[in-house]
Amino acid sequence: MQFEILIPRADLERRARELATAIAPPADGAPPVVVAVLEGARPFADLLCRHLPGRPSWQGIRASSYGDGTVSRGAVAVQGEEQLEVRGRTVLLVEDIVDTGRTVQRIRESLFARGAVAVQVATLLSKPARRVVPVVLEHVGFEVPDAFVIGFGMDAAGCYRDLPYVAIHPTEGGSRSA
């Protein structure tokens, strides 16, 4: 199937390098704890960490929001947070795409509840037209229109994550699991 390419691979790489340069190291000089929301943020987290000072490794958590098809309905379930050691640390939360903002809000609150001193969000994509929760996003790769996108980690019903670019899915299929 041919897709309309929204962001080619070269642009994704260039932007990840720019973001990595713009992400200031925590004030205490320690590297941030990098937490990626799986599965979608895996390729972006890999790319970003490759360009961050000290090439930090990242840890993954899983998030899914309940809804039907492509429509997120609110409650966000998160798995794997209990394994994160964030007390007293600055966390860099890496997302593939921020849509309603509920996932970022839910995870940010829980990181603070677990003792993180600061949380910064780096998201590859943001869809501002769909925002429900007014989340602050410190680092945004690209703003995208209100269309269902796939590729570079993002899926439609489990497919297309391995496309090397971001494309628009023609029929807006897919689930909203991260």
Instruction: Please give the positions annotated as active site.
Output: 99
Q: Residues 148, 151, 160, 167: which binds ligand IMP (CB under 6 A)?
A: 148
- Of 130, 141, 69, the residue nearest 103 (C-alpha): 130
Query: Is 40 a residue that touches ligand IMP (CB under 6 A)?
Result: yes
Query: Is 102 a residue that touches ligand IMP (CB under 6 A)?
Result: yes
* Residues 37, 94: Cα–Cα separation, whole Å: 6
Query: Is 154 a residue that touches ligand IMP (CB under 6 A)?
Result: yes
Rg (CA), the chain: 15
From the list 2-10, 81-89, 96-104, 109-117, the region that binds ligand IMP by CB under 6 A is 96-104
Report the DSSP pairing between strands 166-168 and 149-150. antiparallel
Q: Which x/- pattern, by CB under 6 A, does the window 46-65 give for ligand IMP?
A: -------------------x
From the list 7-15, 49-57, 78-86, 91-99, the region that binds ligand IMP by CB under 6 A is 91-99
The CB-of-86 to ligand IMP minimum distance in angstroms stands at 20
Query: Is 72 a residue that touches ligand IMP (CB under 6 A)?
Result: yes
Query: Is 96 a residue that touches ligand IMP (CB under 6 A)?
Result: yes
Query: Is 43 a residue that touches ligand IMP (CB under 6 A)?
Result: no
Non-local CB neighbours of 4 within 8 Å, separated by 6+ positions: 167, 168, 170
Residue 38 burial by Cβ neighbours in a 10 Å radius (0-12, 13-18, 19+): buried
Contact 76, 63 (CB under 8 A): yes
The CB-of-30 to ligand IMP minimum distance in angstroms stands at 27
The CB-of-136 to ligand IMP minimum distance in angstroms stands at 13
Describe the chain by its helix, strand, coil percentages, rounded to 5: 25, 35, 40
Tell me the torsion sign for CA atoms 64, 155, 133, 117: positive
Q: Binding residues for ligand IMP, per CB under 6 A?
A: 37, 40, 65, 72, 95-103, 148-149, 154, 176, 178
